[in-house]
A and B are shown apart, each in its own frame.
Chain A
C-alpha cells in the first residue's frame, strides 16, 4: 500500500509518459478523453456521460480501406493499437463492464481490434467513496471499494492510497512519487463505502429468477407491454451503457475508395439487424424486451451467471422517459411472486 497527497494528483497524471485517458469535463458533460493541461479532471463524477468502454471500443472505428484499380482491389487493413496507454479513474462497475466486454470480444473468434487496445491498456481503478443516487452495483456482487483493475486508488480526504495488483500496475506505480503506507489504511474506507452502498434505494433488488431456467417465463411476461409503452426507440440507454456491445459494420463510399468501418448499433433502432426478409423485431415491445432479456437472462445463462448489467445507474439518469432496468427488474420480479 502506498499513499500520496491529493494535491499531487494532477502533477502525477501529467508526469506519466504514456497517454492518459481520464474523466475530464467537455462542455457540460464528463467523458473519458486524453488528459492534457488545461482540461478539468472530474474524478468526483459518478456515472460519467460517456463510459470508459469508449476507449476500448470506440463508437466508430475504421477497419479497412478498399481501392479499385482496374480489375484489382487493393485492401489496406487499419493498424491495431500498438502503444501502451493508461485508462485512469475507472470505477468498479465500469471495470466489471469491461470484463463483460472481454467475454464477448476476447472469446473465439477474438476481436483483434479490441484485443490490441485491451492488451495495451493499464487500468487505474478508483474506489467510489461517494455513491451516486442511482447506483445499484451491489446487486451484481460488485464491490465499489475494490475495482478489479491493475491498480486501485482510494480517495481519503486530502490523500490518496494506492495499491497495484498486476505487473502492469506495479510498473506504472513504480514511476509515481508515493510514500509507504500502512497495509490496513483503507480498511475503514472500505467499511464506510460498504455502509453507504448498502443504504442506497436500489441496493437490494430481487434478482431471483433472472436466469436461463426461467427464460420463457420472463420472455412471455405480460408486463413487457406496459413497460415498453413509453419507449421512444432512441439509443440513449444503449449508448450510455458501459456494457452494450452490439455493433454494425458499414461501408462508406469516399468517392475514391471504400472505407469499411464499424459503429455502435442499438437494439432499439428500427433497422437493427434488419435483413432482406424484413421481419426483425417488429415493434418497440420486442426491441425493448430484447435489451433487458439480454442483460438479465440470456447473458448470465451463457456466462456462469454473469449479468451484463453492472448497476452504474446511467440509464436511470439518461432515459428521456424515465424507463430503466430497475423498473424492469421490479416489475418482472413482482410478477413472479403472484
Chain B
C-alpha cells in the first residue's frame, strides 16, 4: 500500500513526564515556539510510567512515531525513575530493531521544565524524521485502518 497521497500526515505520540517535559512543552507554548500539530502529547507522572505496552498500543492504533520525554538523568522528581526508564527503553528499542522495525520511529529525549526551545526543536526534528520514514506499516494493526 504505497502512500500516494501527499496529504498524509504522521501521527506522533509524545509521552511527557509531568514534572519536566510537560512543563517544557508548556513553556514552548507560552513562548510561542512552533512545533508541528502532528505531535499528540500524553502526560505521564514519570517517564518510567511508560510501559512498553503503551508504546506498542500507540503503534497499533496508528501512530507513526513515539517519543518519550522525561527529566534529565539525575533530575527525576522521584529521584531515579528516569534511570529505570532509560534501561527499559534501550532494551525495548533494541528489540524493535531486532524485529526489523525502523529504529528511528522511537526515541527518548530528556527535556527539562526550562527547555521550551529544546522541546520545540526535538519535536520538529522528530516529525521531520517521521516524514522521511513515511507511514508506519510494519507495526500496526490493519483493523485500525479506515
The B-contacting residues of A in range 233-285, CB under 8 angstroms, are 252, 254-256, 259
Report if B87 contacts A (CB, 8 A).
Answer: no
Most buried by A among B61, B62, B143, B144: B143
- Which residue in chain B gives the minimum CB-CB distance to A65? B143
Interface residue count on the A side (C-beta < 8 Å): 5
Interface residue count on the B side (C-beta < 8 Å): 5
Which residues of A have CB within 8 Å of B62?
A: 255
Which residues of B have CB within 8 Å of A255?
A: 61-62, 144
The B interface, classified by DSSP as helix, strand, loop or mixed, is loop
Most buried by B among A252, A255, A256, A259: A255
- Which residue in chain B gives the minimum CB-CB distance to A62? B143
Q: Which of A252, A256, A259 is close to B146, meaning CB atoms less than 8 Å apart?
A: A256
Which residues of A have CB within 8 Å of B143?
A: 252, 254, 259
Which residues of B have CB within 8 Å of A254?
A: 143-144
> Once bound together, how far apart are the Cα atoms of A256 and B145, in whole Å?
8
Min C-beta distance of B60 to chain A, whole Å: 10
Return the CB mask of B87-122 against A: 1 if under 8 Å, else 0: 000000000000000000000000000000000000
- Which residue in chain A gives the minimum CB-CB distance to B61? A255
> Once bound together, how far apart are the Cα atoms of A254 and B62, in whole Å?
10
Min C-beta distance of B64 to chain A, whole Å: 15
Return the CB mask of B112-146 against A: 1 if under 8 Å, else 0: 00000000000000000000000000000001101
Min C-beta distance of A259 to chain B, whole Å: 6
Min C-beta distance of B58 to chain A, whole Å: 12
> Once bound together, how far apart are the Cα atoms of A256 and B141, in whole Å?
13
- Which residue in chain B gives the minimum CB-CB distance to A257? B146
Min C-beta distance of A120 to chain B, whole Å: 26
> Once bound together, how far apart are the Cα atoms of A259 and B143, in whole Å?
8
> Once bound together, how far apart are the Cα atoms of A259 and B61, in whole Å?
14
Min C-beta distance of A76 to chain B, whole Å: 14
Min C-beta distance of B63 to chain A, whole Å: 12
- Which residue in chain A gives the minimum CB-CB distance to B141? A254
Min C-beta distance of A260 to chain B, whole Å: 11
Which residues of B have CB within 8 Å of A256?
A: 144, 146
Return the CB mask of B34-63 against A: 1 if under 8 Å, else 0: 000000000000000000000000000110
9 contacts between A and B (CB under 8 A): A252-B143, A254-B143, A254-B144, A255-B61, A255-B62, A255-B144, A256-B144, A256-B146, A259-B143
Residues of B in contact with A (beta carbons under 8 Å apart): 61-62, 143-144, 146
User: 4 additional contacts, CB 8 Å, given A252-B143, A254-B144, A256-B146?
Assistant: A255-B61, A255-B62, A255-B144, A259-B143
The 9 closest A-B pairs by CB, nearest first: A254-B143, A254-B144, A255-B144, A256-B146, A259-B143, A255-B61, A252-B143, A255-B62, A256-B144
